[in-house]
Structure 1
Amino acid sequence: MTHHTDLLIIGAGILGLSHAYAAAKRGLKVKVFERTATPLGASVRNFGQALVTGQPPGPMLDLARQSRDIWGQWAQLANLQLKRNGSYLFARTEAEEHLLEAFCAGRAEEYGYRVNLLQGAAMNDLYGGQFRHHRAALHGLDDQQLYSREALPALINYLCRELKVEFHFSTLVRDIEPGQLHSTAGSFRGEQIIVCSGHDYQTLLAEQIAELNPQICHLQMLRARPKVDLNLQHALLTGLSCVHYGAFADLPEAAPVQAQILRDVPHLHEHGIHLLISPTPYGELIIGDSHHYGSDPSPFNAEQVDNWMIELAEQTLGCQIQVVERWQGVYGSRGPGPFSFLRAADGVSVALMHTGVGMSVGPAMAERNITELWGEV
């Protein structure tokens, strides 16, 4: 049986749901297809950090700011928990502190990043002095944090209930052609098809995606309980992230930080470890991560990498932690830019992220793509 609709979306991760929202709010009839019974890919394996502060000036910063507003709308519409009190990026060394000072004095002023730099007494007052062993903390006021495992189901429920998006879970899309897809739930017709298949580069549009030469990144992740009651309400980062995120990495003051990492802790650089910590609504912490790249994600985790992350987390938090869960994150990476939106054929497109910031920029990216296809609301 063939069914007609305006937009068919393959993938119910953050990109698929963002495209569904952008289209459905225009009154378009949307169907979403997901091969698993619930989203299990990058969008639920992450930290739930929607960062504005770390994005480099230009399109990524613009998308992150627009996405921040969309997340705020979703929090109200879908009743999902969203912490909007920002993040803290801790400087542990003099070089990291100088980098944050330079960022605040220069780029932050020029491009309007909403940040405060805490030093001295302000650091001592933060969380009752729990983090006074750090030199400084950059408070990114626009950064947001959510619990992905609950936020995505809440968003799906809203799209289904209020915007009448039709979901087909546990449904594999085997093939697509202009105006039609073929799945384990039957064949469906639609004016437009958008593939949002994450790091699956083989099932659909494999030849077109291969031209981008993308890779896959796999990450080691942890969920842990702190052994003291931190009541943490902010996402945390460390100076290690300064050489990873584009807002800081190309500043001249980043070079001494990178040199210090290579000299003192080369194993962190080798395994792409830069500590991130996100509180869950239940007093636990999501901790990570490492970065290993290739054409296929290895299924094997290294205990030593977890141990290094645990050590970093305990140093950052100033307390011991107890690990309660371990898993492997995975996302598409290292394409021709941070993201791609390809017109593969007439009425057939593919939306891909090539970095791990889909939660930060995906909602606005989808809005732009749907506007490109259908125009403004």
Structure 2
Amino acid sequence: MHHYDCDLLVVGAGMLGLAHAWAAAKRGLRVKVCERSHTPLGASVRNFGQALVTGQAPGPMLDLARQAHGLWGELGAAAGLALKQQGSLLFARSEAEEALLEAFCAGRARELDYRVELLRGARLNQLYDGRFEHHRAALHGLDDQQLYSREALPQIIAYLARELGVDFHFSTLVRDVETGWAHTTAGRFSARQILVCSGHDYQTLLAEPLAALQPQVCRLQMLRARLKRPLDLQHALLTGLSCVHYGAFADLPESAAIRAQIRREQPALEAHGIHLLISPTPYGELIIGDSHDYGSDASPFNAEAVDRLLLELAEHTLGGELEVLERWQGVYGARGPAPFSVLKVSDGVTAVLMHTGLGMSVGLALGERTVAALLGDGEWPRALAA
């Protein structure tokens, strides 16, 4: 009988890697995680930390986000995360955006039980002492949560190591995986099952099967800023621009008018894939983005014009002047055959990839379902409705 170093070896300590490690360790499996950097530095710490249910397309993504919502509550309590649970506010800035939100609330939200409310008039004006009364309406997504990823991920790692005995190997590159074995810069580990959650690195491991998916990388320009007139923001913020971007809204007939308006009035927003997201940090600052630029590799060059557009949008939405503290580039895997892929590569080797920037929103549920399927305890997750 072969003695394995662990039951499950996870490659990558980003959101998906940690989700799978947690799901397995909770079930009593011996888990090792290898991460090539000294701490997670990829998509999962460069993001807004928004775990959104409201924006998810009906079908598998909405189901996963709803399951992940409860799992965030569980993990947040266990690991001591500063999880904001006030929900999100999506502001309608124009008649077209307001009409879409009305249609969503009257139709899809009712049919599929999205937990939302439309705030107008006095209820809109009461938000944050009238700071947002220059908008026409706000969709309050009650199930949306938000955390500060760059602190939350290390906290999750500390919790998994301390309480659940997960064995982390940082600054350890996994060079190759095969049935039963992972070959790393820290030696060779034997594992009953190997899960590759290596983000948008499509070349180090499993290059051939990943190439078949034709995945791309999306890069986005991000900022951390402080309002000159402070605002103790407790919600994730979006605007009607997100209505043409998120699956819950983008296919509704009312989105055509918003697209037409953007093309007519601010074509640069469409050209750069800009829709405004704002997340509070625990320190009273705001994370602001984002733009979308797709390709086989992420260009290292940021365009100042894009940052300027983002800041103008943010200042208009927040009704105040911003001071920029930090700029960086977000990056995530994009444009594969579906929102995510679960690839059974060979006996005991599975790859899990996101092809969209929704890993925070669905990752914990994906981890639960993939680990359950590995143990013969459930269906394999599918990204497309059967």
TM over 0.5, shorter chain: yes
Q: How far apart are the structure 2 equivalents of 1:307 and 1:262? A: 18
Matched with 2:382 is none
Contact 2:273/2:292 (8 A) holds in 1: yes
Superposed CA deviations along residues 319-374 of structure 1, whole A, max 9, x for unmatched, are 00000000000000000000000001111010000000000001001111011111
How far apart are the structure 2 equivalents of 1:204 and 1:367?
A: 23
- Look up the match of 1:188: 189
Which amino acid counterpart does residue 301 of structure 1 have in structure 2? N
Work out the CA distance in 2 between the residues paired with 1:338 and 1:79: 30
Per the alignment, residue 286 of structure 1 pairs with 287
Q: Kindly provide the amino acid, as one letter, of the partner of residue 259 in structure 1.
A: A
Regions of 4+ moved over 2 Å: none
Match of 1:28 in 2: 29
User: What's the TM-score, normalizing by structure 1?
Assistant: 0.99
**1:105-142 CA-partner distances (Å, limit 9, x unpaired):** 00000000000101111111111100000000000000
- The aligned residue for residue 164 of structure 1 is 165
CA contact (8 A) 1:91 1:136 kept: yes
Please say if 1:322 is aligned against 2:320. no
Q: 2:384 is matched with which residue? A: none
Counterpart of 1:124, as a letter, is N
Provide the secondary structure at the position in 2 that maps to 1:22.
helix
Structure 2 residue aligned with 1:245: 246
Deviation per CA, 1:226-277: give whole Å up to 9, x if none.
0112111100000000000000000011110111111111100000000000
Identity of aligned residues (%): 71
CA–CA distance in structure 2, aligned partners of residues 54 and 268 of structure 1? 20
SS in 2 for 1:248: coil
In structure 2, what residue type is equivalent to 1:97?
Answer: E
Question: 2:83 maps to what in 1?
Answer: 82
2:63 corresponding residue in structure 1: 62
1:37-64 Cα distance to aligned partner (Å, 9 max, x none):
0000000000000000000111100100
Output one character per residue of 1:191-247: Cα deviation in whole Å (capped at 9) or x when no partner.
110100000000000000000000000000000000112111100000000000000
- The residue that corresponds to 1:348 in the other structure is 349
Give the secondary structure class of the aligned counterpart of 1:329.
strand
User: Structure 2 matches for 1:48-197, cutoff 5 A?
Assistant: 48-197=49-198
Q: Tell me, what secondary structure is at the counterpart of 1:137?
A: strand
Contact 1:3–1:187 (8 Å) recurs in 2 = no
Q: CA deviation at 1:4?
A: 1.6
Is the Cα–Cα contact under 8 Å of residues 261 and 269 in structure 1 kept in the other structure? Answer: yes
Instruction: Spell out the pairing of 1:208-219 with structure 2 (5 A cutoff).
Output: 208-219=209-220
Residue 383 of structure 2 corresponds to which residue in structure 1?
none
Q: Which amino acid aligns with 1:311?
A: E
Is residue 2:336 matched to residue 1:335?
A: yes
The residue correspondences of 1:39-50 to structure 2 (distance < 5 A) are 39-50=40-51
Partners in 2 of 1:121 and 1:243 — Cα distance?
27
Q: Is the 8 A contact 2:15 2:360 kept in 1?
A: yes
- Look up the SS of the partner of 1:305 in the other structure: helix
Task: Measure the CA separation in 2 of the matches of 1:258 and 1:93.
Answer: 12
Query: Cα deviation per residue 1:291-340 (whole Å; 9 max; x = unaligned)?
Result: 00000000110011001100000000000000000000000000000000
Instruction: Establish whether residue 7 from structure 1 lines up as the match of residue 8 from structure 2.
Output: yes
User: How many angstroms does 1:165 deviate by?
Assistant: 0.4
Structure 2: which amino acid aligns with 1:366? G
- 1:371 corresponds to which residue? 372
Tell me the matched-pair count.
376
Q: Is the 8 A contact 1:67 1:361 kept in 2?
A: yes
Q: How does 1:263-282 map to 2 (within 5 A)?
A: 263-282=264-283
CA shift, 1:376, in A, is 4.1
SS, match of residue 287 in structure 2: strand
Q: Deviations over 1:19-75 (max 9, x none)?
A: 000111111000000000000000000000000000011110010010010100011
Instruction: After superposition, give the CA deviation of every residue in 1:169-211 in whole Å (9 maximum; x if it has no partner).
Output: 0001111111101101000001110100000000000000000
How far apart, CA to CA, are the structure 1 residues paired with 2:4 and 2:26? Answer: 21
Q: Report the alpha carbon displacement of residue 375 of structure 1 after superposing the two structures with TM.
A: 3.7
The answer to whether the Cα contact below 8 Å between 2:4 and 2:192 also exists between their aligned partners in 1 is no
Unaligned runs of 5+ in 1: none
Asked if structure 2 preserves the Cα contact closer than 8 Å seen for 1:193 and 1:347, the reply is yes
Q: How big is the alpha-carbon RMSD for the aligned residues of Structure 1 and Structure 2?
A: 1.0
1:219-258 residue pairs with structure 2 within 5 A? 219-258=220-259
Q: Taking structure 2 as the reference length, what is the TM-score of the superposition?
A: 0.96
Which residue of 2 is the match for residue 207 of structure 1? 208
Aligned position for 1:301: 302
